Amino acid sequence: MEFLIDFLTRLVTQFQTPTLGFLIGGMLIAALGSNLKIPNAVYQFIVFMLLMRIGLKGGIEIREADFTAMLVPALFSMLIGVVIVLMGSFILSRLPGINRADSYATAGLFGAVSASTLAAAMVLLEEESIAFEAWVPALYPFMDIPALILAIVLANMHQHKNSEYKDTKIDVWGIVKDSLRGSALSALLLGLALGLLSRPDSVLQSFYDPLFRGLLTVLLLVMGMEAYERLNELRRVAHWYAIYAFIGPILHGLMAFGLGYVAHIMVGFSPGGVILFAVIAASNSDISGPPTLRAGIPKANPSAYIGASTSVGTPVSIAVCIPLFIALAEVVFDI
């Protein structure tokens, strides 16, 4: 009972934080038909800024980090990414009105990771002064890439089995390259490398760090506007997508929380790290995953998987999952 009250209080507070407030604000003004425009160039720059800051900070910390402590969470990330895709495609393909290609693409997108959700969770943890290992965001590609590859490979295998299509080899290395070259991951990896190899501490403190929270609010405003726009597309496809997109993030996050707890016992993964790991698992890709899937699984309907992810999955993982896992961690780890 106490847990429930704590969670609800947290949820109410969460609605007042700039993070969620801007997301809902974006949805609201889009619903009201506002002409407010955030230019595309600005949006892309913000994605760069956020991931560069996350990367730099992570890279600086990895210098002193114990690599064996990172190994277990990294393996768990891959495991979660794979399990989400297998579970999701298994469930979705059995629901009425969803074909196999769409089920693989949707599950792949939910197995992949959202940079904006990750950034929102980091801001919240910092506000609550819950410490986490700064390398945790570096788990992103370990979950993201296996999930996307598995979804595309499964979809192609399925298509081969049931069709007269001529043999098309799946270019796994091509998918890996595409993912790594995507705008979000490139910035994150470059940041990690710069943090690790150069001495960017002063620019981090004077430039990237102070702008981080403010820019995140603009990003979330854009995400909110996009979520509303995509809702129209989602309405035209099977309603099961919306239900999956609501339950999926919570379930995926809880699974990761369990694994994170195991890592906590095994290698002393911090409670903040467990929360962030659960949020990474709960999140669904909204920036870099969709084009990879569109190219890899062309038969799938983008309205279905992007609608599910952007208009339901992302708001749920930010509004419900982040406060839920923080509340859960407070009970489990007694912080």
Q: Name the site residues for another protein (rule: CB under 8 A).
A: 37-40, 42-44, 222-223, 225-226, 233, 286-287, 290-291, 294-295, 298-299, 302-303, 306, 310
Enumerate residues 6+ apart whose C-beta is below 8 A from 195: 55, 56, 57, 58, 59, 60, 61, 62, 63, 204
| Minimum gap (Å) between residue 300 Cβ and another protein | 9
| Minimum gap (Å) between residue 12 Cβ and another protein | 28
Q: Which is nearer to another protein, 39 or 96 (CB)?
A: 39
Q: Which is nearer to another protein, 103 or 270 (CB)?
A: 103
| Minimum gap (Å) between residue 40 Cβ and another protein | 5
Please name which of 38, 57, 20, 22 lies closest in space to residue 210, comparing C-alpha atoms: 57
Separation between Cα atoms, residue 140 and residue 238, nearest integer Å:
30
| Minimum gap (Å) between residue 70 Cβ and another protein | 30
Q: Which is nearer to another protein, 15 or 43 (CB)?
A: 43
| Minimum gap (Å) between residue 303 Cβ and another protein | 8
Q: Which amino acid is at 121?
A: A
The structure tokens listed for 137 are 């965001």
Q: Which is nearer to another protein, 128 or 233 (CB)?
A: 233
Give the max Cα distance, the chain. 60
DSSP 95-126: STT--HHHHHHHHHHHHS--HHHHHHHHHHHH
| Minimum gap (Å) between residue 223 Cβ and another protein | 7
Q: Which is nearer to another protein, 13 or 34 (CB)?
A: 34
Enumerate residues 6+ apart whose C-beta is below 8 A from 1: none
Q: Which is nearer to another protein, 169 or 334 (CB)?
A: 169
DSSP 141-180: HHHHHHHHHHHHHHHHHHHHHT--PPP----HHHHHHHHH
